[in-house]
Amino acid sequence: MKWKKLVTLGCVVVMTVSSVTACGSNTTENQTVEATEQSEENQSDSVIVQVTAVDGDQITADVGTLTTASADASGNGAPGGEAPGGDAPSGEAPGGDDSGNGAPGGEAPGGDAPSGDNSGNGAPGGEAPSGEAPSGEAPSGDAPGGQMPGGSSFEASGESITFTLTDDTAITLEYLQGSGEGTADDIAVGSVLEVVLDEDNQAVSVTVRNLNAGGGFGGSSEVTNGTSANTITEDTEVDGETYTSTGDDENALRVDGAAVTLKDITIEKTAGASSNTEDGDFYGQNAGLLVLNGATATITGATVNTSVTNGNGVFSYGEGTVVNISDSTIRTTENNSGGIQTTGGGTMNTTNLDVETQGNSAAAIRSDRGGGMVNVDGGSYVTNGTGSPAIYCTADISVSDATLTANASEGVVVEGKNSVALTDCDVTGNMSNTYNGDSDENIHCIMIYQSMSGDADVGEATFSAEGGSITAKTGDMFYITNTDCEITLKDVAFTLANDVFLRVEGNSSSRGWGTEGANGGDVTLTADSQEFTGNILVDEISSMVLTMKNGTSYEGAINPDGDGGTVDVTLDDNSTWTLTGDSYITSFDGDTSNITANGYHLYVNGEQVL
């Protein structure tokens, strides 16, 4: 049973860690943080432990110290020598070169290394946590092949302790950047904890340490938008103007706090380096067009071209900022350069856009830290780089009547407590590999996860699709890890690349996506008037509630190997399930006459019912 969410109490003791910028310019020496031994005289001190056993609310652990990873001058602090920064999961190495690859914050999962984006995201396979993750862009932070610069390792002292969790224990999760509330389910064998105990050996507070945290990706602690070659600060209408930029950290055009109508304008951002890809991902530095400070920009018939790192085409930043753009063409060619980008609570409304990106960590519809609202009606959205899903979501994104194509990444990635709603869209994902060829990474078309980068709130993600089609050219159709999510499907035409429709499982935590052994997924899947095929796999640290209703037809097996987590299935009288293998579930609500055994068996809570 899930423990109730607990509000973090008190202050978290901050351990000193080494810092490495995305460019890898800083060198630090190994630093050891000694764990303070619990004593009767000083019960308020914290102790660093690594869990060896979990028995209900009793935790047994080795006491020890944390030692930070050494970072050499090249910025290689990760075991594999890669800097956390850039693209992530499926594609580029986070290395941190001038192109923006290797920065923490981008997109991750599908292509770029999940730890490559500069955004600081530790995303799965695409955009980096900070922005896009799963498919290739670096989750903004994590370095896929190993520990990120500034990461830490646990060294046991030989002492062991046992303590008790209570309903009053404050549990905190340490992210790659920042922290948030957690539950007892986040504590597993292998977890490294910082614990404060009372005189009865009960845990007053527990911080689940993220050993990849603390590297710092070089992003500014305050909003850094850079400069602009052209700025509009007064309400006005503009027709047929051309705006250019070749300067570093410079927008071609900025709309600042004004209500502006832009018709048939041309934006050309042809040169100019980005000094920090996180500032570009988060705040619009070096973008073609940046709208901010509560401005409203209404744009029709625009042509936007960028050929620089962080050259996001059209960027909406900040609460109260609104971009309305229609009948326009956007092209970006370099890394960390989305087509439309929304962060900091901004709003983006689009109609009939033609968007194509070439770089890594360059989702066509992209959001990053602070999220916002994105509404897309019609148009074509195409990506060609790794870690560049058609949609990378850390916001509330709704898309209707659009074509969404990712040629080297997942089709859609949702990170954290955010949502994607598709209506009559045609989605294609083609995630060719994972960052650095990591064999632990999954290949998939749609990914829902939590990177723990701090760029997306922890909570239930939502994904819905009605009408249209979703095509996976490689890998599984859905992959869920380290998060709770709700998926609703209605009358969608699915084309699978393999025999897995849905995979819900934990991950190795090499990129900081939770704690290995406690970072599975919890999924509620509702299929309404839906035909679908393929196996559903739910591992032992994950769960699923599956409801099939209103004429849904499912052909597949659930956990055919017999091992797995809790799976509850409801099948209404108008829906059917045809087995393609033995299936093992925890509970079944429905009439077994609606199940076609097809020569296989259904086991419910260990008992054969078919």
Identify the residue with better confidence: 48 or 135: 48
The answer to whether residue 221 scores a pLDDT higher than 70 is no
Residue-wise pLDDT for 83-128, tens only, equals 333 333 333 333 333 333 333 333 444 433 333 333 333 444 444 4
Q: What are phi and psi of 184, to 5 degrees?
A: -65, -25
Rank 121-125, 152-156, 431-435, 526-530 by mean pLDDT and report only the highest: 526-530
Average pLDDT estimate for 426-451:
83
Question: d(Cα 242, Cα 230) in Å, to the nearest integer?
Answer: 10
Average pLDDT estimate for 263-282:
96
Question: d(Cα 458, Cα 506) in Å, to the nearest integer?
Answer: 16
What's the whole-model pTM score? Answer: 0.77
The reported pLDDT for the residue numbered 222 is 82
Q: Give the H/E segment covering residue 201.
A: none
The answer for residues whose C-beta is within 8 angstroms of residue 48's C-beta and 6 or more apart is 33, 35, 63, 64, 65, 66, 154, 192, 193, 194, 195, 209
Q: Which has the minimum average pLDDT: 141-150, 220-229, 412-421?
A: 141-150
Question: d(Cα 446, Cα 461) in Å, to the nearest integer?
Answer: 13
Q: Are 171 and 518 a contacting pair, CB within 8 Å?
A: no
The reported pLDDT for the residue numbered 40 is 38
User: Considering only CA atoms, which of 49, 32, 121, 58 is closest in space to residue 85?
Assistant: 121
Q: Which has the minimum average pLDDT: 61-65, 211-215, 226-230, 441-445?
A: 211-215
User: Considering only CA atoms, which of 488, 406, 473 is closest in space to residue 443?
Assistant: 473
Question: d(Cα 39, Cα 139) in Å, to the nearest integer?
Answer: 40
Residue-wise pLDDT for 352-367, tens only, equals 999 999 999 999 999 9
Alpha helix ranges (H) inside 232-296: 277-283
* 225 pLDDT tier (thresholds 50, 70, 90): very high
Rank 26-40, 68-82, 588-602 by mean pLDDT and report only the highest: 588-602
- Amino acid present at 184: A
Question: d(Cα 477, Cα 387) in Å, to the nearest integer?
Answer: 17
The answer to whether residue 27 scores a pLDDT higher than 50 is no
The reported pLDDT for the residue numbered 84 is 33
Question: d(Cα 492, Cα 502) in Å, to the nearest integer?
Answer: 15
The answer to whether residue 30 scores a pLDDT higher than 50 is no
Q: Which has the minimum average pLDDT: 159-173, 299-313, 535-549?
A: 159-173
The reported pLDDT for the residue numbered 88 is 35
Average pLDDT estimate for 244-263:
98
The reported pLDDT for the residue numbered 36 is 35
The reported pLDDT for the residue numbered 589 is 98
The answer to whether residue 478 scores a pLDDT higher than 60 is yes
* 437 pLDDT tier (thresholds 50, 70, 90): low
Largest CA distance in the chain: 76
Question: d(Cα 577, Cα 573) in Å, to the nearest integer?
Answer: 11
Exposure string over 456-493, b if 16+ CB within 10 A, otherwise e: bebbbbbbbbbebebbbbbbbbbbbbbbbbbbbbbbbe
The reported pLDDT for the residue numbered 405 is 98
Question: d(Cα 86, Cα 148) in Å, to the nearest integer?
Answer: 12
How crowded is residue 334: how many other Cβ atoms within 10 Å of its Cβ? 24
Cα dist. 222→159, 279, 283 in Å?
Answer: 42, 9, 10
Three-class DSSP category at 593: helix
Average pLDDT estimate for 196-219:
76
DSSP state of 185: G
Task: Please report the DSSP string for 490-508 in residue order.
Answer: ES-EEE-SSSEEEEE----
User: Considering only CA atoms, which of 98, 96, 150 is closest in space to residue 118?
Assistant: 96
The answer to whether residue 147 scores a pLDDT higher than 70 is no
Identify the residue with better confidence: 194 or 510: 194
What is the rounded average pLDDT for all residues in the chain?
Answer: 81
The reported pLDDT for the residue numbered 548 is 98
The reported pLDDT for the residue numbered 211 is 74
The answer to whether residue 51 scores a pLDDT higher than 60 is yes
N residues, the chain: 610
Residue-wise pLDDT for 386-426, tens only, equals 999 999 999 999 999 999 999 999 999 999 999 999 999 99
Identify the residue with better confidence: 410 or 74: 410
Q: Give the H/E segment covering residue 574.
A: none
Residue-wise pLDDT for 547-595, tens only, equals 999 999 999 999 999 999 999 999 999 999 999 999 999 999 999 999 9
The reported pLDDT for the residue numbered 267 is 98
